Structure 1
Amino acid sequence: MTENFTLEQIRTEIIRFKNDPSSQKLENFYYSKSFSEILGVSRREISHSNFFAWLFNPNESHGLNEFSIKKLLDILLIFSNDKLKKTYNHLYNAFATDDYIIQKVSIHSEFHIENIGRLDLYIELTLIVSDTPYIVKLIIENKVESKENNDQTTKYFDYFDPIQKQPETTFYIYLTPISTLELIELNEPECNCKEFIQINYQSIVDYVIEPALQQNISEQTKNILIEYLKSLSQPAIEIQTDSHKEELIMALGSEERKLLTSFWNKNQKLILASLYAISSDPEQEKDTRDSIRTALDNLSSDRDRSTFNIIYQGKVFCENFKKSDIGLQTVLLLQANNLIDDEIIEYLKEDKSCSFFLLKQKDDFTENEIKYRKYKANGTPELIYKNAEYYVARNWGIGNTDKLINKFSQKFPGLVYKKN
């Protein structure tokens, strides 16, 4: 691959790289520091919590009024599990349709709770839904580091849950900088208390900050939002913590994502050659060489071109299909062997195996499932049962593939998946 990159090729690629407009835009963006970086606070949790306290408060100077706090409730709806949506069905319907009035908002960052700790963000809302008042509390634990300390989420839940009174509703939110792809593949929140709803910084960018930039706001507010967005997208390559990993990038704006994707597509050979050179350079620190070598290995292995066979009751059903089709071929096998019935349809629809639903109807798709193409919604339905049209999940990773194989091998004796 990169080992055979000639000197002449390297020179040509570097010249092309220097003259590429995408590269020049990215250089201007990433070689200028955001204001928070200049102050040295871009990865401090308290700085982010203070920013959110400003952003979500309708009475603050940003001029967005209730726009941001309503968008936060949208995020809450998107990432809540089915149990919460069923329990708080009336509230979630109001969030989805925007059929509520915000009567009062109280927001505090670093909210002190005696003998418990300081909650990163406490938001209390008084909502009017169908002429009925509701008190909604948002308990937000904000982790710039990827893991929590001292079992804080359990402490907060144990404190707030017993004191909840009617008509109060308390939502527990765990905010982290993991990617949206990682987030939607989680079976449960990463924090210790599983009553929390995990969201990420990228969702705040996608559903709050970038839409807010399209609103009729002052130049000052626009500059603040752009500066904050820039601080999230700057790689933290020089920041280290003693005990926990920090995400390299906390979130990306849509423009930066497009530029970086274009940059990768145009300069892939040069990037890989650079990484290989560093990983094999004895002058580099061993930790640097090892980490880049791991990245190169992952890039190579990530494009897993292995194929599978499905065997059922000793007969080969399908041979040499791609990993992305493992869910589809499983559904087709069940259909071909007359194993599809009402019970199996519900089993496929309701059981959230493999980190997302294997089978879904178009009307049930979430925004993220559409955005990240979890289902081929623009194509022909892959299963029609009793006049209902269903689509099968795609984008299978190593962990999800193993879960699917274990799940269906146990459910249907005689079903065997063979990796080629």
Structure 2
Amino acid sequence: MKPGKTNEQDLTELVLGLKTEIKTQLQPWLSSTNIFDVLGISGAEIRHSNFLAWLLDPSAQPVLKDAMGKQLLLKLVENGQDLPLSPLDIMLGDFSDFTVERERDHMDIFMQSQHERLVSVIENKLFTGQHDDQLNRYRDLALAAAADPQRVVLIYLTVNADDPENTAWLPLAHSDIYQIISELLPQIPAGREKFYMQDYLETLRVNVMNDEELKTTVDTIYSKYKQALDLIIANRPDEATTLHDDVLAALQQLQQTDSRVSMVVTDGGHTYVRFRTPNMDQLFADVLPLTAEMNSWSSGSPYFWQFRKTRGNKLVLELPFRLIDQQLAVVTHINEIFAATKGRPATAKTSWCTLNKKWQVYFVNGNKTPEDIAADDSYTQAEVLQVITDW
């Protein structure tokens, strides 16, 4: 960016420039359709272990046979690890009888070759660490299952080949798995196996490993358009604002097109969106003074349905009342409506009453604010309109 330019000029240059940058530099990371991403499992540790077990199992895919298992052992040797087998033993050995089990005694991957009298265990860690003395327990289980306790290979697979607390385990990185599959791929004929392996490589590169090429590309583009990108980042709407605005727009649309929603109000801080419903007004017509100024918020209503965003990016539907004189009558009426039989007894001094497992009603007095109100049940944004329609 050249000095002295306006924000509008910076943004215009960014938009025009990114059309070329995306097409020429970022397209490899944006255009591919990956089966693991489509299924939503690219970051799931269990699914990674499932796929790795499939690659290692000669009976599951006869195309690779025992090549993946051999290359895995050879990679450990290449990394300087001490194995009970020499490189020649591995290359000339027959591991076609490898049995591969998932979650045997909670071990991620358990492998055994009767012919080579070898037992190997892989503990796969993507985004978690060691816990509960599990490596010691898994080592003992592997030794107990081995025909020869000297021929046991324990592999601790992590993103960065972290050193395990138990030195009996050999560290291995997911980048090593990436390299092994990349080297095997040219030997695989076109077909389902090759397609899956290509997508898995992409998943490892983008979602697991530190993609140095992507980092370099992004750094270059950011440096080139730093001023405009900083302006966008500083003024982008956060999740709370976006969610608040979406709910507000949906309620306002319903208010205009549907008689079941009325009196939509909001605060200026994107904390909540409130609304009333004619059905609710009718239910409380005999006990709720809808125009009593002493018992209402500044908006002139003693109650509201209220949507509020929680820290977990969910919407909580709440039913706050701003009441003084009519509190006991309203509590009694609510319990009758919901047929509540359990929960905290309602008295003139209670600040809340339990309706059922889903609902609690809080009464807001001068010492409470709407932000203090809580409810037991959380609703995702997809459920919001259904809740409104039901009421």
Relative to the length of structure 1, the TM-score reads: 0.48
Cross-structure match for 1:263: 217
Q: How do residues 311-322 of structure 1 correspond to structure 2 at under 5 angstroms?
A: none
Cross-structure match for 2:18: 17
**Partner-residue secondary structure (3-state), 2:29:** helix
Cross-structure match for 1:101: 94
Conserved in 2, the CA contact under 8 Å of 1:176 and 1:200? yes
Report 1 or 2 for greater relative contact order, CA contacts < 8 Å, sequence distance ≥ 6: 1
Q: Residues of 2 paired with 1:123 and 1:272: CA distance?
A: 51
Match of 2:30 among 14, 21, 27: 27
Return 5+ residue gaps in structure 2 as ranges: 241-391
Q: Does 1:206 align with 2:206?
A: no
Match of 2:193 among 216, 221, 231: 221
Letter of the 1:166 counterpart: D
Q: Deviations over 1:347-375 (max 9, x none)?
A: xxxxxxxxxxxxxxxxxxxxxxxxxxxxx
Cross-structure match for 1:125: 113
User: What do you get for the CA RMSD once the two structures are aligned?
Assistant: 3.4
Q: Does 1:251 align with 2:209?
A: yes
Name the CA shift for 1:42/1:265 in 2 (closer, same or farther; >3 Å).
closer
Letter of the 1:135 counterpart: R
**Partner-residue secondary structure (3-state), 2:61:** coil
Cross-structure match for 2:365: none
Name the CA shift for 1:229/1:270 in 2 (closer, same or farther; >3 Å).
same
Q: Residues of 2 paired with 1:281 and 1:3: CA distance?
A: 21
Letter of the 1:210 counterpart: S
**Partner-residue secondary structure (3-state), 2:64:** coil
Q: Residues of 2 paired with 1:62 and 1:4: CA distance?
A: 65
Name the CA shift for 1:154/1:269 in 2 (closer, same or farther; >3 Å).
same
Q: Does 1:54 align with 2:54?
A: yes
Q: Does 1:146 align with 2:128?
A: yes
Return 5+ residue gaps in structure 1 as ranges: 128-133, 235-248, 287-420
Conserved in 1, the CA contact under 8 Å of 2:36 and 2:42? yes
Cross-structure match for 2:117: 135
**Partner-residue secondary structure (3-state), 1:122:** strand
| Number of residue pairs the alignment of both structures matches | 237
Q: How many Å apart are 1:170 and its aligned residue? A: 0.8
Q: How do residues 15-414 of structure 1 correspond to structure 2 at under 5 angstroms?
A: 15-20=16-21, 21-29=24-32, 32=33, 34-61=34-61, 63-81=63-81, 84=82, 88=84, 91-94=85-88, 98-102=91-95, 104-111=97-104, 113=105, 118-126=106-114, 134-161=116-143, 164-166=146-148, 168-178=150-160, 183=161, 189=163, 191-207=164-180, 209-234=181-206, 249-251=207-209, 258=213, 260=214, 263-264=217-218, 266-270=220-224, 272-273=226-227, 276-277=230-231, 280-281=234-235, 283-284=237-238
Name the CA shift for 1:9/1:76 in 2 (closer, same or farther; >3 Å).
same
Relative to the length of structure 2, the TM-score reads: 0.52
Q: Residues of 2 paired with 1:282 and 1:267: CA distance?
A: 19
Letter of the 1:215 counterpart: Q
Q: How many Å apart are 1:152 and its aligned residue? A: 1.3
**Partner-residue secondary structure (3-state), 1:60:** coil
Q: Deviations over 1:272-324 (max 9, x none)?
A: 546644664485479xxxxxxxxxxxxxxxxxxxxxxxxxxxxxxxxxxxxxx
Q: Residues of 2 paired with 1:147 and 1:19: CA distance?
A: 41
Largest Rg, 1 or 2: 2
**Partner-residue secondary structure (3-state), 1:104:** coil
